[in-house]
Amino acid sequence: RVLWLPDGSSKSLPRRDVWFLRGGPWVARHPWLRSIPREMLVDLQTFDLAAPVIPNMGYWREVRPLLMLWHNHDLDHVQTHGILFDVGVGRGHLAVSALRHGGENNAAGRWLLAELIRRLAAGPTPARRFSQDRVGQVAEELRARRIDLSTQPWRFVVDAQNTGMEKGWSRLEHWPSESETIRIGSAWESQGHPTLDGWAWYGTTVTIPDDWAGESAYLVFHGVDDYYEVYVDGERVGGGGDIEARRTAFDERASHRIGRVRPGQELEIVVRVYDWYGAGGIFRPVWLSNLPYRPDRMLGD
């Protein structure tokens, strides 16, 4: 019997802060929560502010949900985030909590942690159980390799006249000398371009590690505001969003296959971005991974 408090690191369940004003919490009526005030569960997550969840639980129907959040920022794509749930795994019992159980002035969180441990130890295993396919998927994810491209510098250039394509900016060798350095994982408005709407380009290089011999590689994007195209060594490998339909890639997770790579190989990655209003750019992480993104992925991606 295991109680898992995920921290969002590699090989952990993912964890991400969301603004709870954009959704509605749901608390189960279940014997596990008997004698635990439902209002306390809600208050522990400071639902009027940002707090951690296990995001985009595509597998939520496979578990026994106890406390969840429906995220309705986009009513056409309502997401289900997990906060507290349990499930049978083999002959065992796994419970997962993203609630706040530590920190100062949090006696309620510590009391709840003790209650969850007691109930996990004494209670029956839930009827809902992970299938062998799901267990096998997790084993595969534990073998995953990835490189966080958010930790390295990127070059950046504004394309005010939208002439970058004809100038060959899908290759860094053709970029203007006045390009600057920028971070991804944060909007460009917070990095010296507070009024920028329109086209801009990001570029970087990455070297394939020695233990990736013969592996396929994928670029995994977690969200770009609003539209993007991605090029590797000058060749387009994918993109997200739709300018004509005004469909943003703001909350779009996607992987773009590069193909097989070899140790020591240097890849040149260029991303062309268009923002039609508000914050813009590659404001969420980008990974180079040996596995593609799956909506029902279990571990951190």
Lowest mean pLDDT among 29-33, 130-134, 183-187: 29-33
Residues of the domain holding 168: 146-289
294 located within any domain: no
229 located within any domain: yes
- Predicted pLDDT of residue 153: 94
- Predicted pLDDT of residue 73: 67
Mean pLDDT, all residues of the chain: 90
- Apex CA 19: angle with CA 16 and CA 22, to 5°? 125
CA torsion through residues 189, 194, 200, 202, sign: negative
The CATH number of residue 262's host domain is 2.60.120.260
CA dist 165 to 241, 249, 268, 271, 282, Å?
A: 18, 21, 16, 11, 19
Which pairing describes strands 198-207 and 154-158: parallel, antiparallel, or unpaired? antiparallel
What are the beta bridge partners of residue 260? 216
**Both 36 and 84 in a single domain?**
yes
298 located within any domain: no
H/E element holding 73? none
Closest CA to 46 of 98, 6, 8: 98
Last residue of a domain, one of 78, 101, 130: 130
- Predicted pLDDT of residue 103: 83
**Both 254 and 278 in a single domain?**
yes
**Both 152 and 276 in a single domain?**
yes
Higher pLDDT, 142 or 239: 239
CA torsion through residues 26, 53, 45, 280, sign: negative
Q: Domain total for the chain?
A: 2
**Both 123 and 152 in a single domain?**
no
Q: For residues 246 and 7, what is the distance between their CA atoms, to the nearest angstrom?
A: 35
pLDDT of residue 45 exceeding 80: no
Grade residue 49 by pLDDT with cuts at 50, 70 and 90. Answer: low
**Both 199 and 253 in a single domain?**
yes
Q: pTM of this prediction?
A: 0.68
pLDDT of residue 286 exceeding 80: yes
3-state secondary structure of 21: helix
**Both 124 and 156 in a single domain?**
no
Q: For residues 111 and 129, what is the distance between their CA atoms, to the nearest angstrom?
A: 27
176 located within any domain: yes
Grade residue 291 by pLDDT with cuts at 50, 70 and 90. Answer: confident
Closest CA to 179 of 203, 212, 213: 203
Instruction: Give the HSE-up count for residue 4: Cα atoms under 13 Å, Cβ half-sphere.
Output: 22
179 located within any domain: yes
Rounded mean pLDDT, 118-126: 90
- Predicted pLDDT of residue 244: 95
Lowest mean pLDDT among 35-44, 80-89, 189-198, 225-234: 35-44
- Predicted pLDDT of residue 202: 99
Per-residue pLDDT tens digits for 212-228: 877 889 999 999 999 99
**Both 175 and 234 in a single domain?**
yes
pLDDT of residue 47 exceeding 60: no
78 located within any domain: yes
**Both 172 and 119 in a single domain?**
no
Per-residue pLDDT tens digits for 132-158: 999 988 888 887 888 999 999 999 999
**Both 126 and 152 in a single domain?**
no
Higher pLDDT, 168 or 38: 168
CA dist 209 to 152, 237, 283, Å?
A: 15, 21, 26
- Predicted pLDDT of residue 36: 86
Higher pLDDT, 27 or 167: 167
Per-residue pLDDT tens digits for 63-102: 999 999 887 766 677 788 899 999 999 999 999 999 988 8
